[in-house]
Structure 1
Amino acid sequence: MRADRLVAALLFLQTRGRVTVAEVAAELEVSERTARRDLEALATAGIPVYSQRGRGGGWSLVGGARTDLTGLTAGEIRALFLVTGPSSATTPELRVALRKLVRALPATLRSGAEAASRAGVADGTDWSGSPDASASPYLDALRRAVLEQTQVRLGYTRPGRPPSERTVHPLGLAAKAGAWYLVAGTADGLRPFRLDRVTAVAPTGEPVVRPDGFDLSTAWRALAGRMEDRMLAATVRGRVEVSAEAVLEGLFGSRLRLGRTLADGWVEIEVDGPSAEVLAAQLAGLGARVEILEPPAARARLAALAAELAALYGPTRVLPGGVRESLRSETIP
């Protein structure tokens, strides 16, 4: 839009003091003819801009006039660049905008902003070297759909379910615990879609229908609350060796509650999770250092896991013909 270019041209003049038409054209990524018309438009609008011909000439603000279009304090500018400067999720458009903002800032604020942009680093892989699952290739496409208020045909997959497609109304994006989510309207109401499970995004050209009074922050809190309720739907109770407390705290965090210390030195525990079976599988790695007492479904899952592991890893002997036979007891203690 021309208004955006005029503002950018004014900030560029403010930063550089004197510029040529060619420099303005390169900065705004337009032709020199368009850049000249924009500079003339600023002068016509009453901005104190003038041109000087000849060697060393160019366009300047009369008397070094300045305008502060950012309205940002030094602390706000540092916070902005600290958050967005090193982010691997930062789009090319945002990186260009940040560079232009640095050039538009007064000299007293510019050094702080540049330092903040270098104060962090974003590594797009996990410790195994695999790409970050939250860095979805569809993030930019969904951002555009939200901003342009366009419905999309969304491909989506969930563990244990076949892939699906549906038309959704993109209303906003939210980030939580390192993962991005799309908040969208569907035939069944508002839904969150985790971006690392999105398999395709195709704009339909149809406008988004926003619910009356929709507020993204309020909607996200409600959706996140429902997801958290599902993640804490079950509780297992048991006891654990004192030496395993730190492991459990690292694994479950606030979902772990420690109880009283028993006569044998073990500690009572309660752990919340999405299901008793999932919790049993997570606790199985501690072996004999943890004992689940209830519910029965968790104990049954542990018994089944024990049988599977004993069958796979128990002692064996080699029979004639190379056949391996398990020597384990048929009864799992």
Structure 2
Amino acid sequence: MRADRLMAILLLVQRRERVTAAEVARELEISERTARRDLDALAMAGVPLYSTQGRGGGWRLVGGARTDLSGLTASEARALFLVAGPASAATPAVKAALRKLVQALPEPFRLQAEAAASSLVMDPQRWGSSRAGPGAPRFLDELQDAVIRGVQVRLGYVDSKGAETVRTVHPLGVVAKGPWWYIVAGTETGRRTFRIDRVSSADPTGDPVHRPGDFDLAESWREIAAEVDRRRSPLEIQAVCAPDGLGLLRAMLGDRLQVGSATADGRTEVVIRGFNEYALAGELAGLVEWLEVTGPQGVRDHLAAIGTALARRYSGTNASPTPSNTL
């Protein structure tokens, strides 16, 4: 559509301050003749656009590129780039289109918009309970704004035991883990992760964040999540699983399951993490049709004991009558 093309030309001129018809044609994949006609049409429509001839000539905006012709505010530009960023669920085509638009914004807007793109990681895998989270926490916007602007925050925080502390942190990124929100920040004692629904206050200090030059939020979060998983599930067991049971095992265990190579008999080697031997045995007892635990021996012993108890409870004369569905 021509209206879309005219807006694209305006944004292009604003970003570069001076363009030639050839540059517009190349950027928008149109002919030079069409580019010149569109530039003339913008000028005739009252847009403060003028052309100069000779060496260094081209089309410019009167007064330079000091106005955001897209009509976006700084906060709207940041929100736009959040949609276009890697954490977004938008389609690749939508992301590409939005990123092109943001790249055409004035530099002050563009810098904050680009910072917004790297400020958020979405991790859909839950930790532990399937209960619903608290929704968007109170200080989420303030903390994400501090990440984008690169300013330190005086943070009030209430830990899991109810103790409140106040400290100055260097916000580095925001993470959504399932329904829960976290802020990754640098502190005097190193990098820390804070659950945002436990934040009691968040006051920007205006001082710049000390951000490691090689910091990558997505990679940092992978390391943090892996360490938390190791602490939550310190025990590993080895097993082999029949092909028919692998899908059920994945559904039950999620990221606590590590799938290995196939064995000679067609089964698959797996490693399963859990909190302790008895809890893992109880969790896996119902999968005996597909799963054979090979170690450690303590888990095998618990499984054998559970099997004996189940046989004693549900076989022979002590078995309870089969429930009837009739009234």
What's the TM-score once normalised by structure 1's chain length? Answer: 0.45
Higher relative contact order (CA 8 A, sep 6+): 2
What's the TM-score once normalised by structure 2's chain length? Answer: 0.45
